């Protein structure tokens, strides 16, 4: 038995963890709902926000600095306010705030020697996490990394090396791939790459239009064929979000993706499925599994709710030595948390037609349909799939929608925007912590904010 195992089982450690857990649960009992800011903290909080804005060289989207405490979907800010978190750090806090299982895994991580694991020093928990993801995905290999952007960067490197000298990329219109120099060139938002040099070549394909399904499939396949004819044997990789996130929470269909991916396969093009946002949010663990695209997926990237991000790939794409490396894989706390989260998802009834994800989705849909019926024209939607939910308030004009997000924040619900023309409000709710009562409370605030009945 290793010394590490002996330390972990020491009764003093177990007693200390038990006391910490009791303390957390006791204090969480005091967070029962939203709470306005404490007037006594206003001056110091405003000064803190101003100081941070100055330090980072730009203003925060919301005046949000957390206190480091919360309870499930509720999060406390340093001004003493408590809010419903329906964006989860853009999809990170899937099991909610101060989840006790994650607190326990973090305490275990604190006793595990290294803060950051990386290229030259990785512990056994990295092996366990990689094997878990390989089993769950059906892929052959797993390379962990610290961000979704790096997961996509590594995926592109694998694809380019495999397909050399082909150097063009196929992507969907309105896609979001990340904010690195390379990924900003793929992300279909020119403002995200203003002033940046162009270093890769991207050809865009229209995404699925649910209002014109047959026409949409024809239009997109023709666009793909045109790119392939114009640049024969020059495309290395087709990167695809199966549900567009930043683009406005638009899902495609199995028939749509199969039509395109079969053409790509027939032309020897590597298919990269970007699941940094969809992982764990559809009725299957992976969106490519939900859409039945297993035979097309060559590389799959995950992130956000997984804490540690990953590039999963088939053995045929195994890179040559030295292509992939990094100082940090991630923190030991994140690695252990990832394992807890994924095991919870797989064992605790999240998936399938009656799973937690669909149940939460239908509860939100019911509320949005009620608002639409009671106030015709006030909203459109909801849109999305599973734990990706969006709606368009008013006319979807960007400034008005952004202001509505700020109004919701002040009223006690943290959301975010997505898409343009129209711009939508999006939810990435902490499915693992939400109750029906929480959803009812959130939607009462949304309705009051929409109608001005504060």
CATH code, domain carrying 241: 3.40.640.10
Residue 52 has pLDDT above 80, yes or no: yes
Q: What average pLDDT is seen over the chain?
A: 96
* Statement to judge: residues 412 and 318 lie in one domain: no
* Statement to judge: residues 384 and 335 lie in one domain: no
Residues in the chain: 454
Domain boundary (287, 315, 347) is at: 347
* Statement to judge: residues 251 and 163 lie in one domain: yes
User: Sign of the CA dihedral 353, 358, 359, 362?
Assistant: negative
Please check whether residue 274 is in contact with residue 177, taking contact to mean a CB–CB distance below 8 angstroms. yes
How far from 386 is each of 51, 161, 216, 277, 347, CA to CA, in Å? 38, 35, 23, 12, 18
In a domain, 5, yes or no: no
In a domain, 195, yes or no: yes
Domain boundary (347, 375, 405) is at: 347
The pTM score is 0.95
- In percent, the amount of the chain with pLDDT more than 70 equals 100
Phi, psi values for residue 219, rounded to 5°: -60, -40
The residue assigned the tokens 């605030």 is 445
pLDDT single digits (tens) 138-150: 999 999 999 999 9
* Statement to judge: residues 296 and 360 lie in one domain: no
In a domain, 371, yes or no: yes
pLDDT single digits (tens) 262-315: 999 999 999 999 999 999 999 999 999 999 999 999 999 999 999 999 999 999
Which of 107-121, 187-201, 232-246 holds the top average pLDDT?
232-246
- Split into its structural domains, the chain has a count of 2
* Statement to judge: residues 30 and 95 lie in one domain: yes
* Statement to judge: residues 386 and 296 lie in one domain: no
pLDDT single digits (tens) 179-199: 999 999 999 988 888 999 988
Q: Residue 428 CA to chain centroid, in angstroms?
A: 8
Instruction: Lowest mean pLDDT of 25-39, 180-194, 288-302, 388-402, name the range.
Output: 180-194
* Statement to judge: residues 154 and 300 lie in one domain: yes
* Statement to judge: residues 338 and 363 lie in one domain: no
Give the range of the structural domain holding residue 325, as residue numbers without chain letter.
106-347
pLDDT of residue 454: 44
In a domain, 322, yes or no: yes
* Statement to judge: residues 236 and 199 lie in one domain: yes
Q: Residue 161 CA to chain centroid, in angstroms?
A: 27
How far from 323 is each of 126, 298, 314, 328, CA to CA, in Å? 20, 18, 16, 15
User: What tokens appear for 439 in the block?
Assistant: 């959803």
Q: How far apart are CA 442 and CA 446, in angstroms?
A: 6
* Statement to judge: residues 341 and 376 lie in one domain: no
In 299-311, which positions are buried (b, 16+ CB within 10 angstroms) versus exposed (e)? Answer: bbbbbbbbbbbbb
Residues with Cβ within 8 Å of 452's Cβ and at least 6 positions away in sequence, in order, are none
User: Sign of the CA dihedral 254, 351, 346, 154?
Assistant: positive
In a domain, 306, yes or no: yes
pLDDT of residue 119: 86
In a domain, 162, yes or no: yes
In a domain, 6, yes or no: no
pLDDT of residue 424: 96
CATH of the domain at 384: 3.90.1150.10
* Statement to judge: residues 138 and 219 lie in one domain: yes
Q: What is the DSSP letter of 210?
A: T
| Pairing mode, strands 309-313 and 299-302 | antiparallel
Q: Per-residue pLDDT averaged across 97-104, rounded?
A: 97
In a domain, 113, yes or no: yes
Question: How many other C-beta atoms lie within 10 A of the C-beta of residue 29?
Answer: 8
Residue 98 has pLDDT above 70, yes or no: yes
> Helix, strand or coil for residue 205?
strand
End-to-end CA distance of the chain: 61
pLDDT single digits (tens) 327-364: 999 999 999 999 999 999 999 999 999 999 999 999 99
Residue 453 has pLDDT above 70, yes or no: no
* Statement to judge: residues 212 and 119 lie in one domain: yes
Please check whether residue 149 is in contact with residue 180, taking contact to mean a CB–CB distance below 8 angstroms. yes
Q: How far apart are CA 161 and CA 163, in angstroms?
A: 6
Closest CA to 402 of 380, 426, 385: 426
Please write down the long-range contacts of 122-128, taking CB distance under 8 Å and 24 or more positions apart: 122/329, 123/332, 123/335, 125/332, 125/335, 125/336, 125/339, 126/329, 126/335, 128/339
Residues with Cβ within 8 Å of 69's Cβ and at least 6 positions away in sequence, in order, are 27, 31, 75, 76, 97, 98
Residue 44 has pLDDT above 90, yes or no: yes
Domain boundary (302, 321, 347) is at: 347
Q: How far apart are CA 424 and CA 413, in angstroms?
A: 15
Residue 153 has pLDDT above 70, yes or no: yes
């Amino acid at each position: 038995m290793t010394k590490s195992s002996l330390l972990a089982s020491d009764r003093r450690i177990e007693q200390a963890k038990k006391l910490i857990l009791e303390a957390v649960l006791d204090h969480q009992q005091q967070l029962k709902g939203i709470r306005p800011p404490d007037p006594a903290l206003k001056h110091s909080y405003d000064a803190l926000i101003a100081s941070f804005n100055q330090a980072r060289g730009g203003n925060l989207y919301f005046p949000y600095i957390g206190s480091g405490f919360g309870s499930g979907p509720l999060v406390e800010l340093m001004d003493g306010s408590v809010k419903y978190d329906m964006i989860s750090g853009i999809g990170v806090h899937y099991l909610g705030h101060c989840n006790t299982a994650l607190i326990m895994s973090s305490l275990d991580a604190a006793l595990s020697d290294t803060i950051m694991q990386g290229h030259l020093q990785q512990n056994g928990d990295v092996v366990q996490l990689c094997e878990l993801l390989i089993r769950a995905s059906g892929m052959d290999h797993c390379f962990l990394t610290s961000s979704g952007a790096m997961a996509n960067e590594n995926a592109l490197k694998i694809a380019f090396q495999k397909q050399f000298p082909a150097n063009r990329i196929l992507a969907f219109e309105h896609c979001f791939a990340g904010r690195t120099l390379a990924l900003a060139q793929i992300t279909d938002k020119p403002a995200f790459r203003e002033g940046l040099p162009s270093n890769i070549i991207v050809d865009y394909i229209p995404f699925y239009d649910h209002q014109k399904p047959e026409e949409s499939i024809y239009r997109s396949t023709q666009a793909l064929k045109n790119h392939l004819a114009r640049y024969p044997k020059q495309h290395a990789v087709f990167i695809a979000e199966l549900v567009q996130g930043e683009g406005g929470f638009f899902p495609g269909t199995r028939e749509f993706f199969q039509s395109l991916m079969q053409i790509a396969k027939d032309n020897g093009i590597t298919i990269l499925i970007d699941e940094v946002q969809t992982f764990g949010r559809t009725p299957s663990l992976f969106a490519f599994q939900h859409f039945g695209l297993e035979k097309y997926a060559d590389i799959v990237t995950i992130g956000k709710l997984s804490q540690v991000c990953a590039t999963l790939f088939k053995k045929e794409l195994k890179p040559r030595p030295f292509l992939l490396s990094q100082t940090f894989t991630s923190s030991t706390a994140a690695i252990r948390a990832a394992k807890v989260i994924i095991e919870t998802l797989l064992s605790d009834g999240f998936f399938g037609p009656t799973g937690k994800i669909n149940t939460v989705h239908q509860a939100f849909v019911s509320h949005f349909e009620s608002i639409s019926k009671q106030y015709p024209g006030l909203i459109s939607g909801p849109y999305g799939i599973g734990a990706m939910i969006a709606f368009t308030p008013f006319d979807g004009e960007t400034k008005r929608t952004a202001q509505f997000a700020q109004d919701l924040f002040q009223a006690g619900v943290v959301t975010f925007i997505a898409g343009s023309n129209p711009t939508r409000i999006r939810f990435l709710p902490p499915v693992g912590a939400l109750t029906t009562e929480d959803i009812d409370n959130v939607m009462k605030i949304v309705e009051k904010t929409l109608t001005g009945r504060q």
